[in-house]
Structure 1
Amino acid sequence: MKKNKNLIYILIVLAALVIVNAISSSIYGRFDLTKDKRYTLSDATNTIIDHIDSPLIIDVFLEGEFPSEFRLLQTETKQIIEEFQLKTSNIRVNYIDPIEDESTREQIIDELTRSGLEPYINTDNSTGKVTQEIIFPWAFASYKDQTVKIPLLKRSITQNLSDQINNSVQGLEYVFADAFNKLVNSKSKTIAVLKGNGELADLNIADFLQTAQSYYKIAPFTLDSVATNPQGTLDKLKQYDLIVVAKPTQAFSEEEKLVLDQYTMRGGKSLWLTESVVMDEDSLRNATNSSVSIMRDLNLNDFFFKYGVRVNPSLVKDLYSAPIMLAIGEGSQAQLQPIQWQYAPLAASNQKHPITKNLELVRFDFASPVDTLKNSIDKTILLQSSPKSRLEGVPTSISLNDVTKSPDERLYNSGPQNLAVLLEGEFTSVYNQRVLPFKVKNFQSKSIPTKMVVISDGDVIKNDVRQRRPLELGVDYRGFLYGNKEFLLNTINYLLDDTGLINIRAKEISVAYLDEDKIKEESSTWQLLNIALPLALLGLFGLAFNFFRKKKYT
């Protein structure tokens, strides 16, 4: 009888196992138990993936034996791709070690570099011997005859490798979702680059335009027709979702301002890169190496004042600034040397906003401070100079010959200065309860909710030009990449974003690292402990076992 009961129990257990196995094979679920929800894709990413209707091939070149930091990036990259693949079977991945084959190594490195994949040279001297490794923290995504490159490592000139990896891990979902969005979704938003008021030439903003064209339709738009057909100009401008005004140098007429004002009232977004002082580095490259800064009147003071900001006619000097190259020495002995240039502040970013989160320093040249004024518009400071700043009024004589003199740090006590401000809300028209310069069809005194960014230096968007060819925006003579291009791209993405993609950048992921210095200091202790402790415990167990055995049987 007892035997039969045991058999019944065994059969019940086996039947239960079969049922559980059948249920588990038909029902699949994943639960993200991490505190920061690092393995939970955002709604914006899910929406983009849902639109993938053909095979999307990802080629990841982060494969091979790496230092611990890159192994973390490698693991997190594979994990995020697995999350994408769980959403759709159309995503396929190849993990490639580009330098595995010695016979083709140099050729592949050359091909990848010419494709724009800059390798990371990792230098390791932890063992006392200096070694260098070439790492390609990049990926390609291909979809329907289109290919885009994906940077897996977010590089920085101010952070160590661990911090760079940390920021890169936080940005993995964004860089992949951004690439998928370029491939899958057609360009629907349009940008007008304003012309007619002495703005920067296309060659000087070519790198920005080329980068933005991956996302949006871009076209020049001149305001010259305002003089003869202001209403027609406004009607045409309303067809664009965003206007970019890049360093105007000629004053705006009242008619032009009314067109721009009514564009804003109808929900148009705008990116202003404007200056209130006439001065740039090129004006100092003359026989005397000097020039005088004067006020620039663009007739926009009331325009910005009504919206809630004021670009002051003064210059920000900052001890935390970028260098410029100057010839030091006499005659044939002169050599180009980098000299710190206080008129080129390196602006720190607001880490709480998705536009500027994990953003590299942004370089300014002869920037002016921006005041925020009290009104109903929400204002967010995006970029500021360092606390070691001072203000310099105009007119002022500025000379390159003074650049080698040590600055008096006691004078740099004005605190951080606002250099870029985001405005959001329902704007009141500049021409509310004023006589209009021309009759506007359906004049609006209050805008629908819209956005605007004001940057107090037009050179933020300006790329250098060499032999009539534009250089990459934000790259200096040393090859250091500042955050100018990323900042501007994030800004227009935020101003135009209707998918929530930019909000992925605000995702916080905590990455814990071992203390490398502590590891080196205590490595011998822990190695000895790992070897000696198990042996000691084993010996102790043997002694105790023998003791109790003898006691029992003696």
Structure 2
Amino acid sequence: MNKDGLWKASGGLVGLVALLVMIVAANIIISNIRLRVDLTGEKLYTLSDGSKNIIKKLDSDVTLKLFVSSSAAEVPIFLKSYAKKVEDLLQEYRMISGGKISIEKYDPKPDSDEEEWAQRYGIQGQQTAMFGPPVYFGLVASCGKTEAMIPNLDPRMEELLEYNITRLIYRAVHPDKPVIGVLGSLPVLGAGQQQFMMPQQPRQQPWQTFQQLRDDYAVMQLPPTVDTIDSTLSALIIVHPKELPDQTLYAIDQFVLRGGRALVFVDPFCVAEMETAPAQQFRRPETSSNLEKLFSSWGVTFTRDKVIADMGSASRIRSQNNQIEDSPFWLTLRDKNISRKDIMTTQLNTMMMPFAGAFKVNASSNLTITPLITSTDAAGLMESIMAQMGPANVTRGFKKEPLPLNMAVRLTGKFTTAFPDGKPKDEAAAKDEKKEDKPAEKESSTSSIKEGNSTVILVGDVDMLYDRFCVEQGEVFGFKTMQPINDNLSFFANAVEQISGSSDMIGIRSRGRFQRPFERVLALEQNARTEWQSHEESLTEKLRQTQQQLESMQSTKDKSQRSILSADQKRAIAKFREEEIRIKNELKTVRKNLRRDIETLGMQVKTINIAMMPLIVVIAGVSYGIYRKKKR
């Protein structure tokens, strides 16, 4: 080899060594740089401002103990992946806390001390294999002597992951039960014998929604004539307020303006009122409720005398004449009605609201209005008296609204008082002064609060809390049981939890999902499924029509001949069977096309994933070669 060739070879070797040294040096330098960027579309690893505020306000150290069976062979791959995401999110909590939060991880192997600790904390072991050991995946927060836990971190609840972890930390730091005040005209907490009740009528039991409330809260009953509300209450629940005196309205007004949060249930036609009110001769109970004076100052209006008729949310019920019919007044609410953007409602599936009313937002309102439950686009308002006559009257006076109607909303922001002149005079004292012709003296308004920041949740239905519309009573081994029949209980529990905790808890958003679905494939499946469902419904309808035709033919025959098929019947049956075979063949074609479209799409994605990177390298190499050649 000549000197030039040797020089070129040694130069190339030196260049290669220099390149390797640069790569190693770059790795060392970059590894010491702490750079964290959340590139997920829904900011899965970025905490909400509400969580950050709660963490930054911690004045005590909190230890988060994660129990996960990471070494168990029985743990599914998706669960291990989800556990890693949870660990990453916990590290985000630790970094933001400034040393207030520490994280401990335990692997509860069978018969180990870690497994015993997990069981003592109440972490629930899940059986993933028939004969394998239980799998643990739970979280414990300890602050001093107080401990709170999530017994099972369910991947199906991942949208609530941040909310549940923040709530866990908050409960560990604030272990005392929040005090909830309950005010209204219905015996939701139970009632003894009343003046107009028959002697044989039993004592009214608490509604199941409020019975469960006592498990997590200290519940205080407030009289309908209360004139002051203690500021130590964590929240106020108002159920079916009817003709409250101004003193009580003023007390509610000032409670909200002091920062107290409220959950209000009003109703244009309360079925529970009809069923629980004592029987009184010559008198029908007033079934509507409203807080018109307060609502007006809050910038909303409630349809007190009108109920929502929603064709898209109609429920199938049995009428008074024992006929099955679809009632647009008994609303079965599903995904299209329930907000998926709010942490309070994101996990709810179905709800029931009979004879619900609507909230209309005034254009002058300065509050932030968040719809939680809405009607479909096929809804309108009808007079309550007309709705009570049954679904047959829905076409009379019905007018579809241009936009969906709000059945539950959350108001946040700066509220203004409904009593600008201060505390109203006691009605009895005002009457006495009027009799004595004394000039009415105005109360000093200097002690009244004129405005203040708060949160109020408004719901346009009371019956959703009533046992008949949210639970089903059963009996097991002689013990009465209550089984939820929808998510009404969950909605109530979520609302109470949100208004009774820290105000920062309300601002925590619903997180996205760590598992990103193949949306194009899902869309194809949904399109094919919709087409398949339409064929199935068509087949079912034709079957029903044929059966009606057969019954009609059979009814015209003599009793002695009913076991013999006529020629018309035979032709009808043959025709239906041909139609059935044709539709089944169409269904096979739909399924075949579905599989073909999905397989084609999958092959395209695989081709792109496999060929894209080599193609980029080839293009980069060719481009660099052309560039060097031109440079020479």
Show the counterpart of 1:37. Answer: 43
Report the identity percentage.
Answer: 16
Show the counterpart of 2:264. Answer: 272
Q: 2:103 aligns with which of 90, 110, 114?
A: 90
Deviations 1:487-513 (A, max 9, x none): 651465167543356423166879331
| Closer/same/farther in 2, CA of residues 36 and 523 from structure 1, 3 Å limit | closer
The answer to which structure has the higher helix fraction is: 2
Q: 1:260 aligns with which of 252, 259, 272?
A: 252
Q: Is the contact made by 1:357 and 1:505 (CA closer than 8 Å) also made in structure 2?
A: yes
User: TM-score, normalised on structure 1?
Assistant: 0.64
- Which amino acid counterpart does residue 88 of structure 2 have in structure 1? E
| Closer/same/farther in 2, CA of residues 371 and 310 from structure 1, 3 Å limit | same
Structure 2: stretches of 5+ with no match in the other structure? 1-5, 95-101, 110-124, 191-204, 277-282, 427-442, 526-592, 611-632
| Closer/same/farther in 2, CA of residues 240 and 326 from structure 1, 3 Å limit | same
Q: Secondary structure at the match of 2:407?
A: strand
Deviations 1:225-257 (A, max 9, x none): 74xxx4xx44xx222232111234x53222222
Q: Does residue 102 of the first structure (1) align with residue 130 of the second (2)? A: yes
Deviations 1:471-497 (A, max 9, x none): 35xx32xxxx33652465146516754
Q: Does residue 447 of the first structure (1) align with residue 451 of the second (2)? A: yes
1:444 CA displacement: 2.0
| Closer/same/farther in 2, CA of residues 460 and 6 from structure 1, 3 Å limit | same
Deviations 1:89-142 (A, max 9, x none): 62426599944543479xx7xxxxxxxxxxxxxxxxxxxxxxxxxxx9x95323
Q: 2:84 aligns with which of 78, 81, 106?
A: 78
Show the counterpart of 2:564. Answer: none
Please give the alpha-carbon distance, in whole angstroms, between the structure 2 residues aligned to 1:520 and 1:199: 57
Larger radius of gyration: 2
| Closer/same/farther in 2, CA of residues 490 and 256 from structure 1, 3 Å limit | closer
| Closer/same/farther in 2, CA of residues 381 and 522 from structure 1, 3 Å limit | closer
Provide the alpha-carbon RMSD of the alignment.
5.0
Show the counterpart of 2:388. Answer: 398
Structure 1 residues 431-440 or 308-317, which shifts more?
A: 431-440
Show the counterpart of 2:579. Answer: none
Superposed, 1:59-208 pairs within 5 Å as 59=68, 75-85=81-91, 88=94, 90-92=103-105, 94=107, 98-103=126-131, 139-144=137-142, 146-150=148-152, 152=154, 154=156, 168-182=157-171, 184-187=172-175, 190-195=178-183, 197-201=185-189, 204-207=206-209
Please give the alpha-carbon distance, in whole angstroms, between the structure 1 residues aligned to 2:153 and 2:85: 16
* Equivalent pairs, count: 453
Q: Is the contact made by 1:59 and 1:139 (CA closer than 8 Å) also made in structure 2?
A: yes
Deviations 1:438-459 (A, max 9, x none): 4578532512122222211112
Structure 1 residues 292-301 or 449-458, which shifts more?
A: 292-301
Please give the alpha-carbon distance, in whole angstroms, between the structure 1 residues aligned to 2:463 and 2:472: 13
Show the counterpart of 2:596. Answer: 521
1:220 CA displacement: 0.8
User: TM-score, normalised on structure 2?
Assistant: 0.57
Q: Secondary structure at the match of 2:424?
A: coil
| Closer/same/farther in 2, CA of residues 505 and 95 from structure 1, 3 Å limit | farther
The answer to which structure has the higher strand fraction is: 1
Q: Does residue 505 of the first structure (1) align with residue 510 of the second (2)? A: yes
Deviations 1:283-339 (A, max 9, x none): 49xxxxxxx997546573333223322322122232333646659999xxxxxx986
Superposed, 1:155-554 pairs within 5 Å as 168-182=157-171, 184-187=172-175, 190-195=178-183, 197-201=185-189, 204-207=206-209, 210=212, 214=216, 217-223=217-223, 226=226, 230=227, 233-234=228-229, 237-248=230-241, 250-280=242-272, 283=275, 295-296=286-287, 300-311=291-302, 312-321=304-313, 323=315, 326=318, 340-347=326-333, 348-357=337-346, 359-378=348-367, 379-396=369-386, 398=388, 411=398, 413-414=400-401, 416-433=404-421, 436-438=424-426, 442-444=446-448, 446-463=450-467, 464=471, 466=473, 471=482, 475-476=484-485, 481-482=486-487, 485-486=490-491, 489-490=494-495, 492-493=497-498, 496-500=501-505, 502-505=507-510, 511-513=516-518, 515=521, 517=525, 520-521=595-596
Q: Secondary structure at the match of 2:45?
A: coil
1:191 CA displacement: 4.1
1:263 CA displacement: 1.8
1:75 CA displacement: 3.2
